Structures are given as structure tokens and as C-alpha cells.
Homo-oligomer: A and B are copies of this chain.
Amino acid sequence: MSELTGNCLIGQSGGPTAVINASVAGAVTEALNHECIEEIYGCRNGVLGILNEDLIDLAAESQQTIRALKHTPGAALGTCRYKLKKQQDFDRVLEVFKAHNIRYFFYAGGNDSQDTADKISKLAQAQGWEMRVIGIPKTIDNDLPVTDHCPGYGSVVKYICTTVRELACDNAAMGQHDLVSILEVMGRSAGWIAAGSALAKRRDHPHDPPHLIYLPEVAFTPEKFIEDVRRVLKRERFCLIVVGEGLVDPDGNYVSTSSAQIDAFGHSQLGGAGDYLRGLVEQHLGIKARSAKLGIVQRAAAHCASKADVEEAFMAGAAAVKAAVDGVTDKMITLVRGESDQYVCETGLADLSDIANGVKMLPREWINDDGVSMNQQFIRYALPLIQGESVVPYERGVPVFARLSFEPVERKLPGYDLL
């Protein structure tokens, strides 16, 4: 391993989570420990900030602010969904890196972001620019391969389970007659988040809500749905349903396509599965149904974040810096679960290229045969991820979050035309 001296750059990309800032806090905190890292920069809005040479001096932020990042949702550096495509874009990135002597690049994001980091690293190697690139995992969707789970997932699940428990109290109060309530949660192509709502059930209380969980992994038919609801209402005073936004019919089409739009990465932007189910209940069963759609509220709910998740996100950020200083490059930090019964989590490494193009599906064998509930294997997997309560400071009745001072790094290059 050769010692590499220079500056580091930290970026965030993709959809924000409740804990992606904790990863930045971890990376900054760790970077301060290493003399080979001279300046600690952040790029605003991911690769857009690199292209625009819009860098900030993270070492100039107060320690208070860096610490507060641990409980601040969103993405404090700003994020983007911009996809580097043209060779010119990649050349510009390298030009900015060279101008600012960036020798360490840490990029927190999902698979698209790890793909970007991978491509940047390969280009740097091709051009003989010595640098180390380490990805930091991030996604509420929990769909990155290799890593046991993803920072961000535990917190969204904890918030949804809290919501389900509370909704259950409300629904039970009104339960003198049939009542169906539907909670739509995120999850574009995998049901990890909807599945997580199963943790709201008490151990050995199979009748606890949620009574029905609809996952994108299980083809949806209105006929079975109506039967499912009927069955629940025969034995319970109300029926609480959690549905993932990406629900599909047997042909693989989204059940609710009315608001489907395609984003820059070719992903459909969904919504409306909850209202669709509500319509089915009212139309076919003549029963009052209520739906709620948490939307992006759920991924921002830092006030209800999992302490385990916050700590692992921080650890992943710190581990990225440690690995790079140790000479590692082209890897993403993974979370590795210990073998023992007692949950322990350490970090590991995976090739960026393996992350970039893989997706981890919710294992079919963790879904019960009824298609609408999760088995003990899933519970064992997910339960440790929501443990502990993150503490958020309140001022005048509302949570207070970190606000970066965004000390700009002086520009050294002419401007760049994004178009």
C-alpha cells in the first residue's frame, strides 16, 4: 500500500434518506483522523456539483454541525439524479478532480450512483490520475446486492411500523363496524419496505395488524384481493392493509398507471396503488375504506429513525475513508451481519461494478404462501434493523436539523456548459 496524499471529496446522490447525512458525518469525522487527507470537500448536488465545480469546504463546518448531521434527514450536500453520459462530462469530472487535487472520492448512493463512481474511477485509471474511489451504500429500497442491508432501510421501516401501530389503535376505536384502512408505502420494484411493516405485529400475535401486505413480488388480482379482505373482516373488527407503490398485475403492469411518469434513469414514478385498492373495496364490498399515502414523508422521518440504522450509516461513512486510506479503491462498503444469534454488524467491501448492475430482490421464500404476510425468516432478518430510537433535539416544539454553512471552495476552472 502506498500512502496517497491529497484532498478528499464527498458526494451524495439519488433519493435522500433519514440517515444519508449520518454517512457524511462518519466520513468527515474519520477523514479528520488521517493526515494524508489534506482538505475535506463536499460537492453540491452530487456529480452536478463536480461538473459545475461547486465544491464546499466541509472542514470549515462546526463540529456541532457535523454532529447534527447524524439526525438530519434529506441530503445536506444536495443530491441529484443526473446521469453522466457524454465523454465530455467524464472528462470534466477528471479535470475538476485534478484542479483540486482530489485523491479520495466518496460517493453515497444507490446502484446508479455506484455505477457513476465506478465509471469515474475507471476513467481516472485510464488517464493515470491516482485516486481512490469508495462507495457508501444508501437506499431506503434495500435493494443493493452483496450488502446484508442498506442504510436508510431500517429507519423507513421503523417509521412505517410506528405508523401501523398507531393506525391500528385508531382503527380499533372505530371498529364497531367493518372498516378497511390502507397505507401506501414506497418501493418501486421491490417490496422490502412494505414487507418491513410486518414488524409492527407483536411476536406470536398473528392477528395483529397489518392484516394484509401487498408486495410487487406477488402478482395482484382484484379477485384474490377482495377474497383476502373478506377473510380478514370475518375474524377481525377492521382490516389494515399495507401496499407497496409498485404493485403489479399478472402481466407485470403497475395496477395504477394513471400517474406513472419516467424519470431520467428510466424509472417509473408511481403513486396511487392505495387509492386503487380503496376503490376496489368500496366498489366490490360496499365498505368504507380510507387510504393514506406517506410519499416522501417516510424517507425523511428522522424524528422516528432507527438508532441501529443511524449508527450503521455513520459507520459505513467512516469505513469508506478508512478503506481508502488503507489503499482500497473501486469498492463499496457493505454491511455484514455476524453469524451469531445476537445481532452484530460490521463493514465489508464489494466491487463497485457488482453493485452497479445488481438488484437484491426480496426472497420469495420469506413470503408466506398466502402472499400477503411475511414469515419468521424475514422477521429475523429485519427486526434488528429497527432497534433503538435516534434522539432528535427539539426547539420551540419542532425538531432542529443541521444547516451547513456551505463555505465555497474557490473555483479554478472556467465554467462548464451542462447541456
**Taking beta carbons and an 8 Å cutoff, which residues of A are in contact with B?**
12, 16, 45, 48, 72-80, 158, 161-163, 165-176, 181, 183, 199-200, 203, 261, 269, 271, 288, 290-297, 299-304, 306, 383, 386-389, 394, 396-399, 401
Contact = CB atoms under 8 A, between A and B. Distances in A.
A152 to B, nearest CB: 12
A46 to B, nearest CB: 9
A398 B158 contact: yes
Nearest to A237: B78
Nearest to A154: B397
A167 B168 CA distance: 25
Given A78-B174, A166-B301, A271-B291, 15 more contacts: A12-B173, A74-B166, A75-B173, A80-B176, A161-B397, A163-B300, A165-B399, A166-B302, A166-B399, A167-B297, A170-B299, A199-B396, A269-B288, A387-B396, A387-B397
Contacts of A297: 163, 166-167, 183, 292, 294
A406 to B, nearest CB: 12
Contact of A303 (B75, B162, B183, B401): B162
Most buried by B among A168, A169, A388: A169
Contacts of A302: 166, 169
B161 A78 contact: no
Contacts of A168: 74
Shortest Cβ-Cβ A-B pairs, 5 listed: A74-B169, A292-B295, A75-B173, A386-B397, A166-B300
Contact of A199 (B12, B161, B398): B398
Interface core residue of A74, A183, A389, A396 (most chain B CB under 10 Å): A74
Nearest to A18: B166
A293 B296 contact: no
Contacts of A158: 397-398
Contacts of A167: 296-297, 300
A292 B296 contact: yes
Nearest to A302: B166
Given A79-B174, A167-B300, A169-B73, A292 B290 contact: no
A165 B401 contact: yes
Given A170-B300, A181-B296, A175 B389 contact: no
Nearest to A169: B74
